Amino acid sequence: MIIYSCNGDSESVKMIQKILVTDDGTEVSDRALKVASEIAGPCAAHITLLYIIEPIEDPNTMLFENDKELIEKAKMMKMGSTLENPWQRRAEETIKKLSKKNISSDSTCLTGDIAEKILEYADTKKVDMIVMGSSKRLKGISKIKALGSVTRKVSELANCPVLIIH
């Protein structure tokens, strides 16, 4: 059993150095970030804000003869002017606020299946903890059964602890 802590005093204790916070711009994401910053501060851990744009099927794909690579490039160019800028501003403001609290942070925006991208990013960057929000308001076993599909998939398949904030 591995215990996660701010200091690695023994072989069974793993330090929390990298925290991944999923951000979809909602109030529950803000709460998740607040909790992550409360953990990161004393641990001197780094926070990464992760925003994922889920691809949307577009009827205009006929123009590209169903060439997936061309379709994705076109979507990213279109999204760059509509979705990326508001989130980028939000991320920059959040990074400034965290910096004032002496918490190092960065942000990343990816495109793809949300749960898969969270898991892939967490593994690639070797994060120590994922903090994410879930807006379901049930109690007991019903709460576990009713987790959103993304939250549930990430909590079941992640190779690190997942802290779910309600």
Is 0.95 surpassed by the pTM of this model? Answer: no
**CB-based burial label for 49 (10 Å; 0-12, 13-18, 19+):** buried
Which pLDDT band, with edges at 50, 70 and 90, does 158 fall under? Answer: very high
| Rounded Cα–Cα distance for residues 138 and 146 (Å) | 8
Residue 13 is classified by DSSP as E
User: What is the spatial order of strands in the sheet that 18-22 belongs to?
Assistant: 105-111, 46-53, 18-22, 129-133, 162-165
Query: Does 135 or 41 have the greater pLDDT score?
Result: 41
Q: List CB contacts of 45: < 8 A, sequence separation 6 or more.
A: 6, 16, 17, 18, 19, 39, 103, 128
pLDDT in tens, 36-56: 999 999 989 999 999 998 876
What are the sequence ranges of the domains in the chain? 3-59+88-165
Instruction: Supply the CATH classification number for the domain 3-59+88-165.
Output: 3.40.50.620
Nearest one of 36, 56, 55 to 47, comparing CA atoms: 36
